[in-house]
Amino acid sequence: MSYLFTSESVSEGHPDKVADQISDALLDNFLAFDPESKVACETLVTTGQVVLAGEVKSHTYLDVQNIAREVINTIGYTKGEYQFSGDSCGVISLIHEQSQDINQGVDRETKEEQGAGDQGMMFGYATKETENYMPLALDISHKILQVLADFRREGKEISYLRPDAKAQVTIEYSNENVPQRIDTIVVSTQHDAFDDDDNKMLAKIKDDIVQIVIPEVKGQLPKEIQTLFDGQIQYHINPTGKFVIGGPHGDTGLTGRKIIVDTYGGKGAHGGGAFSGKDPSKVDRSAAYAARHAAKNLVAAGVADEILVQVSYAIGVVEPTSIFVETYGTANVDLTDGEIAEKVSRLFDMRPFAIEDRLKLRNPIYLESAAYGHMGKQPKTVTKIFESPYSGRVEKEVELFTWEKLDKIEEIKSAFDL
C-alpha cells in the first residue's frame, strides 16, 4: 500500500533562520581573524531587538552589533514597516568568555588528541532518490523557498513579497519506497498589505505561487522528478489568510530551533544538537557533517541505496564511543549493517580533530549553511572578505560544504569490493 511522507523548510527571513544566520556570521568573523576561536553563540530576535549571548574564547575582538545589522539587511529586513530592520533595531551583546571547565577537555598539547566538545550522538543520512542524495520532499521544499526569495529580490514579476516564508511538501510513495507523485504543497509567504479585499489578495498570491513559482521550481529539477508534478496536487497557499505581520515582529526567533529543516526533513534520525553559532570543536556540528559525508559517499559508491550513520562521543574523550550504520534493507553488499559499520570506522577517522582537518572546518564557511539546509548543497570554492575596526581586513579563499564532496568513492569501492 502507498504512503505519504512530508517535509518542510523555512526561508532565510524566518525568525529562527535570522537568528541562525547572525550566529553563523559571528562565528565566521571570529574564525576569519582567529582560526582557533572557540565559539558558542546564540541569538534572539524579536520586535526591534536582537540579543546576542554565548561563550567565546578568541584572540580577536569584533563589532558584533554591526555584523548582526549587516546580516539582517542582507536578508531583506530594510523597511520600517517590517517593525524590524538592520538599520534601526537595537542590538544587545551578552557574550562572555568560555568556561575553562569545558575548554580543558577540548584543548590538548597535540591537536590530534583534541577531545570532543560535548557528549551526544550525531547522525548523517543519504538516499539515492535525488541527485544530491537528499530526501526528495525536503529538497523540493528548499527549492520552493529559494525560488521565492529570488523573485522577492528581483521585485518585478512578484513585487509584494516580504522575507518570512515557509513551505511544506507531501510525497506519495509506493510500498517499495519509490516516489510516485507530489500529493500536497503548502506555502505561506509574508507579503505587503494589499489595497484589494482579502479574497482578491489571497487569490492573487495563490495564482502567482502556482503559476509562476512552482513552474520555475519544476524546471530546476531532473525530468524524472518533474513527472511527479501531476495535475492532482493539492495546494494550500497562505491557508490562514493574510500574512503581513511576520519576521521577528510576528514571532520571536532563536538560534537552533530548525534542526530538522537543517538536516533531513524528518528522514533518518537526529541527535538533537543544533549547528549554527558553534565552532567545529563542538561535535554537535562537526560530527554531523562527518556522518553526512560518510553516508553520502557510501550511497554514491553503491554500498546501499539508503544509509544512516550514527556517531557518538563522550565530552573530553578523543575516540568516538560508537559508530552505527542502518541500511534499511537496501544494502548492495553481502555484509550485515554491523560489518558495514566496522568498515566505516576504518574508512572515516571520526576523532574531532581529524574531522576538522579532513573537512577544513576551521575556516569561515558557515554563514552559507545557515539557511535552506546544511546538507545537500554543492561544494564550491569562494573568496570571502572580512573587515573589523579592531583587526583590519582579511581576505580568504575557502571551500564551502566540504562534507558534500564525493571524494571517498574509490576508497570505499575498494574496501567493499564493488
Q: What is the pLDDT of residues 225-280, one digit of tens each?
A: 999 998 799 999 999 888 988 999 999 999 999 999 999 999 999 999 999 999 99
**Domain presence at residue 269:** no
Residues 197 and 326 placed together within one structural domain of the fold: no
Q: 241 and 307: one domain?
A: no
Examine the domain organization and report whether 86 and 184 are in the same domain. no
CATH number at residue 187: 3.30.300.10
Quick one: pLDDT at residue 118?
A: 83
**Residues contacting residue 320 through CB under 8 Å, at least 6 positions apart:** 116, 287, 311, 312, 313, 350, 351
Residue 299 CA to residue 115 CA, distance in Å, equals: 29
Whether 111 maps to a domain, the answer reads no
Does any domain span residue 259? no
Angstrom distance (rounded) from CA 118 to CA 221: 39
Nearest to 140 by CA among 370, 378, 372, 403: 372
Report how far apart the first and last C-alpha atoms of the chain are (Å, whole number).
33
Residue 225, pLDDT score: 96
pTM: 0.95
Q: Is the C-alpha dihedral spanning 21, 24, 26, 29 positive or negative?
A: negative
Residues 368 and 238 both lie in one domain: no
The binding site for Mg(2+) comprises: 16
The DSSP result for 192-230, as a single string, is PPPSS-HHHHHHHHHHHIIIIIHHHHHHTS-HHHHTT--
Residue 113 lies in a domain: no
Q: Are 358 and 399 found together in one domain?
A: yes
283, 377: one domain:
yes
Same domain, 171 and 221: yes
Please state the separation of Cα 106 from the chain's center in Å.
Answer: 25
Cell of 20: 541562525
Final residue of a structural domain among 230, 247, 264: 247
* Residues 214 and 284 occupy one common structural domain: no
Question: pLDDT, tens digit, for every residue of 331-344?
Answer: 999 999 999 999 99
Binding residue positions for ATP: 14, 164-166, 242-243, 251, 257-258, 274, 278
Domain count of the chain? Answer: 3
Question: Is 402 in the same domain as 310?
Answer: yes
Query: Which residue ranges are tagged as binding site for K(+)?
Result: 42
CA distance 205 to 199: 10
pLDDT < 70: residue spans in the chain = 98-112
> Could you tell me if 147 and 66 lie in one domain?
no
Phi, psi of 313 (to 5 degrees): -140, 160
Which domain, by its residues, includes 53? Answer: 15-105
Instruction: Give me the pLDDT at residue 170, please.
Output: 98
254 belongs to a structural domain:
no
Which of 198, 232, 247 is a domain's end point? 247
Residues making up the annotated binding site are 14, 16, 42, 55, 98, 164-166, 242-243, 251, 257-258, 274, 278, 282
Which residues line the annotated binding site for L-methionine?
55, 98, 251, 282
User: Does some domain include residue 263?
Assistant: no
Distance in angstroms (rounded) separating the CA atoms of residues 412 and 417: 8
Which residues are within 8 A (CB) of 141 and not within 5 positions of it... i.e. 6 or more apart?
7, 8, 9, 167, 168, 169, 265
Q: What is the pLDDT of residue 109?
A: 61
* Listed residue (300, 311, 384, 367) closest to 33, CA to CA: 384
Residue 264 falls inside a structural domain: no
- Shared-domain flag, residues 282 and 410: yes
- The pLDDT of residue 101 is 52
The answer to whether position 25 is within a domain reads: yes
E strand residue ranges, 196-321: 234-237, 253-254, 306-313
Residues 28 and 144 in one domain: no
pLDDT value, residue 113: 72
